[in-house]
Amino acid sequence: MKVGIVGNYGHDNNGDEAILQGILTQLLVDLNIDRENITIFSNNPENTKARYGLKAVKLLHKRGSLLKSVAATINKNNRIIKELDVLIIGGGGLLMDMYKRDAPLYFSHALMGRFGGCKVVIYGVGAGPITTKSGSFLIKRMIGAAHSISVRDSESKELLEKIGVEKPIQIIADPAFKLGERLKKEMSLSVKKIGVTAVPYFSKEYWPESNEEKYEAFVFGMANNLDEIIKEHDAEITFFSTKYPQDVKVTEDIVNVMKEKGAVTILKDNLNPDQLVSICGKQDIIIGTRLHSLILSVAAETPIVGVGYHRKVRNFMRRISKEKYYIDIEQMNKPGILNELIHEYKRNWQMEQKSFSTISSQQVMEAKKGLEQIGQVLR
């Protein structure tokens, strides 16, 4: 049984790599697929080969314009996909049109799979934003080419149904929860160690449309809020990144304007998913903007504060029934907003820690539903 995996891999986005690692564990360990029978379609095949020791090929063959690139990609990848039995389009917020390449790119792979005789599985993805007619058209047709589909939250399911998808849509937990399966966190007596991830919100180096005023408001707001937490709780702050190196830059910008720098550590390395889970497990609370810093924290049974730059963050906090610990990223310039949530945690600290142990176990079990989806296609 030959399996291909398509997704946003090979970009040093270690949230996406955590998804891939979860999927690979399911295939290699739980379903006993031979390593030589797996092909990963990657943005950087050499990076992916080095990480996983598996066959990797280019996801997108760039030829100048998007249209020429997609045409070249179809020409090259169609031959590879015809040799596969199953094509998994898996993990992450793939069903959206915020970035102009995504919908055409993943649609073309789904279509190649369908017409090449593959069973196409859309697996544990997020949907949205979908704001254009062309995006809606391509995403609907992509799902139409699939044998089965699962998403990671009810909001994604509702959005797909709203744009006219009629196929049954299953909801499963993110495949990255597989990484926390063997972890067991010891409860702490107080809130002392706080991990933080920051996204370069509207940065000119990263965002599709930059806005320096919004970027600076986030940087100064996060810095001021963390200074307050350090002073009031004698806390130690550890910054780490799931998107390398872009998140390191915004982290440095935040720390540069903080007053309590002596209580701050910045981890600047390109951390792999196992290292990220380990770091999350050593913190008392994670304040996370990147979705997978929150997912890996919950996998490690660590309480979280979700800072929402994208709807997927709020959707996740809602899914685990912790929306009271969510704030919108544009509220970050409000003094004391993070400190209020730290106080809320401390009021019922032991109970909150136990609740995250339960949530983690539940999400690991929910992630296993994906095995049934893949298993049915492999039969």
pLDDT for position 239:
98
> Cα separations (Å) of 375 from 45, 55, 121, 149, 153?
27, 22, 11, 13, 21
The strand order across the sheet containing 38-42 reads: 55-58, 38-42, 3-6, 86-95, 119-127, 148-151, 170-171
pLDDT for position 375:
83
How confident is the prediction for the chain on average, in pLDDT?
93
DSSP sequence for 202-257 = T-TTTSSS--HHHHHHHHHHHHHHHHHHHHHHT-EEEE--SBTTHHHHHHHHHHHT
Q: What is the pLDDT of residues 289-312, one digit of tens each?
A: 999 999 999 999 999 999 999 889
Predicted confidence band at 235 (pLDDT cuts at 50, 70, 90)? very high
Residue 41: φ, ψ to 5°: -90, 115
Mean predicted confidence (pLDDT) in 322-342:
96
Q: What is the pLDDT of residues 64-119, one digit of tens each?
A: 898 899 999 999 999 999 999 999 998 788 999 887 888 999 999 999 999 999 99
Answer whether residue 181 shows pLDDT above 80.
no
3-state SS, residue 110 = helix
Q: What is the pLDDT of residues 116-175, one digit of tens each?
A: 999 999 999 999 989 999 999 999 999 999 999 999 999 999 999 999 999 999 999 999
Predicted confidence band at 188 (pLDDT cuts at 50, 70, 90)? very high
Q: What residues pair up with 3 in beta bridges, in sequence order?
A: 38, 86
Answer whether residue 209 shows pLDDT above 90.
no
pLDDT for position 328:
97
pLDDT for position 99:
77
pLDDT for position 164:
94
Q: Other CB atoms closer than 10 Å to residue 315's CB: what's the count?
A: 22
User: 3-171 with 193-363: one CATH topology?
Assistant: yes
pLDDT for position 180:
78
Burial class of residue 99, CB neighbours in 10 A (0-12, 13-18, 19+): exposed
Domain boundaries, the chain: 3-171, 193-363
**% of residues, the chain, pLDDT over 90:** 83
3-state SS, residue 284 = coil
Answer whether residue 39 shows pLDDT above 90.
yes
pLDDT for position 350:
96
Fill in the amino acid letter for 239: F
Please tell me the class of the 3-171 domain: alpha beta
Fold for domain 193-363?
A: Rossmann fold (3.40.50)
Q: What is the pLDDT of residues 252-295, one digit of tens each?
A: 999 999 999 999 999 999 999 999 999 999 999 999 999 999 99
Higher pLDDT, 205 or 28: 28
Predicted confidence band at 195 (pLDDT cuts at 50, 70, 90)? very high
Higher pLDDT, 67 or 182: 67
pLDDT for position 287:
98
> What pTM was estimated for this model as a whole?
0.90
Cα distance between residue 288 and residue 291, in whole Å: 7
